[in-house]
């Protein structure tokens, strides 16, 4: 019998009506193997760490802050005039990750307006801030993740393709900088030209985490444009064994009601 696949609950979307420690316990009850979240900074890290210890679930990742979310900011690390704030956010995330023993930090790039010169400056800033982040993270034994975000939802986001992510990872040149392979974002960005299985195989050596959701509605992975039974078989065949991140919007906000996909996609023989 093959080992069942492992799944991580993204608590930015699942059980979002609960305080983070309670959501961690809910994920354990629902048989998830790990958890991850977006912005946990309003929660006491001691309470989060206690919930993780009580359940035995690892926290796979947290995000750096968006910046001024009310004005539409989605990260600061690719903004040339915001380096000091971006690095403060990176250090905050690393300190929080240390307190709860999170494995990785997703460093958010941000929205960049303007033409080629603005994008060149943004790339320089992003690489510099990622060099800072990876050096700090390596001292803690943690990874830094970067994630292309779909322009349909995040117009102007600097990191808008898997190819650009690879270029940035290679330019920084540190082994703890990896791609957050989000199937929903990448299918919207590149699925018209490249099947998601091919994208996965192409980028496997630099992938640090996988997230998934139905395309295009970002619901549970039991419908939509991606056949997840097929995709996960490819993931298995290529030897990727880490927990797969369920980052989807539960139907009508009811997480438990939307978990029917788990038994079907566990991969038990």
Question: Catalytic residue positions?
Answer: 147, 247
Sheet strand arrangement including 104-106: 34-36, 7-10, 244-246, 207-212, 177-182, 143-146, 104-106, 61-63
Tokens 């696949």, residue located = 5
Contact criterion met (CB below 8 Å) for 103 and 147 = no
Residue 94 phi, psi dihedral angles, 5° rounding: -65, -40
On the 0-12 / 13-18 / 19+ scale of CB atoms within 10 A, 2 is exposed
C-alpha 252/C-alpha 250 separation (Å) is 6
On the 0-12 / 13-18 / 19+ scale of CB atoms within 10 A, 162 is buried
Question: How large is the angle between the packed helices 196-203 and 183-190, nearest 10 degrees?
Answer: 110
DSSP 7: E
C-alpha 78/C-alpha 98 separation (Å) is 24
C-alpha 93/C-alpha 242 separation (Å) is 22
Give the Cα-Cα-Cα angle 171, 108, 176 (nearest 5 degrees).
45
């Amino acid at each position: 019998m093959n080992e069942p696949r492992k799944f991580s609950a993204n608590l930015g979307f699942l059980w979002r009506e609960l305080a983070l420690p309670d959501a961690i316990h809910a994920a354990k009850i629902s048989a998830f193997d790990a958890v991850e979240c977006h912005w946990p900074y309003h929660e006491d890290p001691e309470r989060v760490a206690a919930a993780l210890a009580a359940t035995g679930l690892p926290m796979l990742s947290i995000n750096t802050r968006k910046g001024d979310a009310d004005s539409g900011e989605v990260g600061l690390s690719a903004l040339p005039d915001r380096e000091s704030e971006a690095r403060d956010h990176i250090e905050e995330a690393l300190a929080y990750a240390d307190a709860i023993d999170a494995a990785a930090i997703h460093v958010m790039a941000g929205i960049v307006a303007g033409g080629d010169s603005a994008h060149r400056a943004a790339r320089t800033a992003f690489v510099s801030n990622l060099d800072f982040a990876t050096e700090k993270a390596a001292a803690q034994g943690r990874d830094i993740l970067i994630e292309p975000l779909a322009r349909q939802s995040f117009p102007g986001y600097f990191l808008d393709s898997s190819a650009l992510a690879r270029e940035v990872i290679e330019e920084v040149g540190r082994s703890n900088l990896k791609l957050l392979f989000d199937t929903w974002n990448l299918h919207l960005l590149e699925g018209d030209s490249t099947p998601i299985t091919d994208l996965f195989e192409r980028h496997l050596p630099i992938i640090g985490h996988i997230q998934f959701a139905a395309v295009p509605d970002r619901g549970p992975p039991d419908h939509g444009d991606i056949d997840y039974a097929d995709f996960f078989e490819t993931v298995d065949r290529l030897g990727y064994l880490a927990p797969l991140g369920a980052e989807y919007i539960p139907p009508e906000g009811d997480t438990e009601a939307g978990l029917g996909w788990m038994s079907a996609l566990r991969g038990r023989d």
